[in-house]
């Protein structure tokens, strides 16, 4: 079983990795859903960005 400290370390590692590729994620919705996902640069690998978004949306 994963301990609380291990889980906290894993979550911190994920946030650090996500911070390297994501500049901002924001909700610009009014009546329809509009999420804006802004990479830190144009050079961010698409697969890395997808993995980062997948980790952010995965249940913890």
Q: What is the SS3 assignment for 50?
A: helix
Q: Give the domain extent around 29.
A: 4-57
Query: Mapped to the 3 state alphabet, what secondary structure does 16-37 carry?
Result: HHHHHHEEEEEECCCCCCCEEE
Which pLDDT score is estimated for 28? 81
**pLDDT digits over 39-54, tens only?**
888 888 888 888 877 8
Does residue 34 register a pLDDT over 80? no
Count the domains in the chain: 1
């Amino acid at each position: 079983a994963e301990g609380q400290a291990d889980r906290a370390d894993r979550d911190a590692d994920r946030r650090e990795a996500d911070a390297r590729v994501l500049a901002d994620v924001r909700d610009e919705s009014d009546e329809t859903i509009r999420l804006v996902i802004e990479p830190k640069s144009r050079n961010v690998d698409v697969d890395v960005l997808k993995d980062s978004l997948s980790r952010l949306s995965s249940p913890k």
